[in-house]
Amino acid sequence: MGKKGGCGFVGWLMVLVILALLGVGIFLVVRHKMNKSDDDGDSIPGPPGAIQKKYSDALNVAVQFFDVQKAGKLNEDKITWRGDSALEDGSTVKLDLSKGMYDAGDHMKFGFPMAFTATVLSWSILEYGDQMEAVNQLGTAQDSLKWITDFLIHAHPSDNVLYVQVGDPVSDHKCWDRPEDMTEKRPVFQVNASSPGSDVAAEAAAALASASLVFKKKDSDYSSTLLKHAKQLFSFADKYRGSYCDSIPGSATYYNSTGYGDELLWAASWLYHATGDRSYLQYVTGSNGNDFADFGNPSWFSWDNKLPGIQVLMVAMVLLARLTFLGEKDTSNSGLQQYRETAEAVMCGLIPDSPTATSSRTDGGLVWVSDWNALQQPVAAAFLASVYSDYLLTSGKRQFSCSGSTFKSSDLKKFARSQADYVLGDNPMKLSYLVGYGDKYPQFVHHRGASIPADASTGCSDGWKWLSSTDPNPNVAMGALVGGPFKNDSYVDDRNNTMQTEPSTYNSAAMVGLLSGLVTTSSVVQSFN
């Protein structure tokens, strides 16, 4: 991840100029509202068009996993086998930390991946909210996002304190029980000035800053609250530098941050989008960018590596002229250009016919990075490819070069579709890795609540029989995106096969973003207004 510290964008020109002269401190893009094809066959961004039923159906399924993972007081029985849980979380420190989401198949609340889930879900809504609304999923996505941001607000009781974990992983993993029946202790862990956590605090800042844009028109007071906390958390993360896994060593086994530099840049990027305050832009493009951005070295987007996300987000600054009309006369030699070049390198690595394409793919066409949770990187990369493709279309720059070879925005969309289609069943196993979608999907998901009948009476230790049961899960973990296949495209559907069968909220956030970008024709960047 490059240099890291620690243990891990056709409106009328005159309208824009006038707005800039009026000092509008936001990123306003007035787009040509058309929906046709250009000479290259690429769709020009406009209002949502024809719905792609496959992706619409899959999106309807994917958003449900957030309801499966919710902790706290559940006011609606969206998932019939789920109920209230973790109602006392935070009580030992006189805080309400009952909300939030369990990260995966257990009952831990890890703030680092949870905040990343919120940031990616926010970005998905900001880019593709109108497309989500076209298939009646926008409200659901916003509600799920708020479930996390409510938790993050409560977890930040003062400027330099952030509670980043609820539950002890050692004690938690000694149990196989339903979250509604938990009896184990639920300790809470914080980062503060003396025990810093720049990575997790900055990720929380990114989550709250991006969410403030999501809720800006829907609930301006809530949006302001989110932004206030985001600013405070960024200041805390930047002033007291250190990795949270040094302060909370027990978290390293599960979510070991490889550094905090990318999170600081990620948070500052989102704060610039949310505020228009140029000091955040200068933070990203100045010395901190030089220290942490790892320019020229493409990498994989994940809960631990935000660099590809930052690079694509920064492309909006260059391609979409947000800076040109706000006084930035020349960006060709600025740090922004280095972000753009690295973002293009990331994209060039994804397109199969590119001279610099990654050769690490399964025979079925899935980009391959890791045995463990194999779908995380290809789904996240496909989401970025979809966003970047739409940035190119919106800007009118529909082509880019990869070591002398020219590719179009449609090539990126084609790649994004290929990864989504693989996940949805177009793979050698003919298996949908999105639980609840299609006729064939995993039945033995590594998920405690899904594996135990809702009417079972089990405690911490006597529920292990459900882990080893040879019967399919009695409850369907709707929308769960499991870890995925091995490099030979095989998949072993076994609860004990954690690396392949365990789902996670951060995988689901990227999948929701990817599907939202494919469900109909693009109308991107509207929500940054």
| Burial classification of residue 295, based on how many CB atoms lie within 10 Å of its CB (0-12 exposed, 13-18 middle, 19 or more buried) | middle
Could you confirm whether 154 is annotated as catalytic? no
Comparing CA positions, the residue from 517, 446, 455 lying closest to residue 483 is 446
**Local structure of residue 326 (DSSP, 8 states):** G
Distance between CA 386 and CA 520 in Å, rounded?
12
Distance between CA 160 and CA 28 in Å, rounded?
33
Comparing CA positions, the residue from 32, 192, 186, 198 lying closest to residue 115 is 198
384: left (phi over 0), alpha (psi -120 to 50) or beta: alpha
**Local structure of residue 305 (DSSP, 8 states):** -
Number of CB atoms found within 10 A of residue 47's CB: 15
From 156, 229, 446, 447, active-site residue: 446
Distance between CA 45 and CA 34 in Å, rounded?
7
DSSP letters along 250-286, please? GGHHHH----SHHHHHHHHHHHHHHH--HHHHHHHHS
Strands 399-402 and 109-110, sheet pairing: unpaired
Cα separations (Å) of 211 from 130, 192, 219, 227, 413? Answer: 16, 23, 11, 8, 26
Q: What are the residues facing 401 on neighbouring strands?
A: 406
Distance between CA 330 and CA 433 in Å, rounded?
46
Residue positions counted in the chain: 529
Distance between CA 318 and CA 344 in Å, rounded?
12
Distance between CA 449 and CA 180 in Å, rounded?
9
Query: Tokens 């002398």 identify what position?
Result: 404
Annotated catalytic sites, by residue? Answer: 446
